[in-house]
Amino acid sequence: MIITINTEHSVESLRVILSDPSFLLPRLFPTIRKLEVMGSSFNGVAKYLTFEHRIYGNVFFSVNEITYPFTLVFRESTGTGRITITLLDKEVRITLDYEGWMGFLSKGLLKRWLESFSKDFNEVIRLERIKRKI
């Protein structure tokens, strides 16, 4: 699934903010309850309905692209996914691919979360830029 967001923010400031898992992941996946970031790796716990599961992965970035490959684990079930954020002039494109555990149920939910994330995107980024003095 792909969502495109028009933005007024610079590619440089977006790269700094969106490549921070502690900023992006809880906003993109509101069920995350705990998230630890160690360098470019992250490990967290999320709870959806009664399913408490782990999420872990890494973040990689270049001049105009940020990639978050991740794995979800619930008991013996796993799922793998990738968030790719492409930074363009006045536009951010977020691609979310996921398959595996809960994949068939999560499509609509993930789409709603992406749409919710995009709704106040520019204001949230503006406030984060002020906080970080970017």
Cβ proximity of 54 and 73 under 8 Å: yes
- The answer as to whether 81 is a domain residue is yes
Q: What is the mean pLDDT of the chain?
A: 90
pLDDT in tens, 56-103: 999 999 999 999 999 988 888 888 999 999 999 999 999 999 888 666
Q: What are the C-alpha distances in Å from 95 to residues 39, 76, 130? A: 23, 27, 27
DSSP string, 67-81: EEEEEEEETTEEEEE
- The answer as to whether 94 is a domain residue is yes
- The answer as to whether 132 is a domain residue is no
- Give how many domains the chain has, as a whole number: 1
Instruction: Residue 70: give its domain's CATH number.
Output: 3.30.530.20
Note the pTM of the prediction, 2 decimals: 0.88
pLDDT in tens, 104-130: 566 766 788 788 899 999 999 999 999
- The answer as to whether 49 is a domain residue is yes
pLDDT in tens, 14-61: 999 999 999 999 999 888 999 999 999 999 998 877 778 899 999 999
Strand spans (E) along the chain: 2-6, 32-38, 41-48, 51-58, 60-61, 65-74, 77-88, 91-100
C-alpha to C-alpha distance for 48 and 111, rounded to whole angstroms: 15
- The answer as to whether 131 is a domain residue is no
- The answer as to whether 68 is a domain residue is yes
Look up the domain containing 109 and give its range.
2-125
- The answer as to whether 134 is a domain residue is no
- The answer as to whether 117 is a domain residue is yes
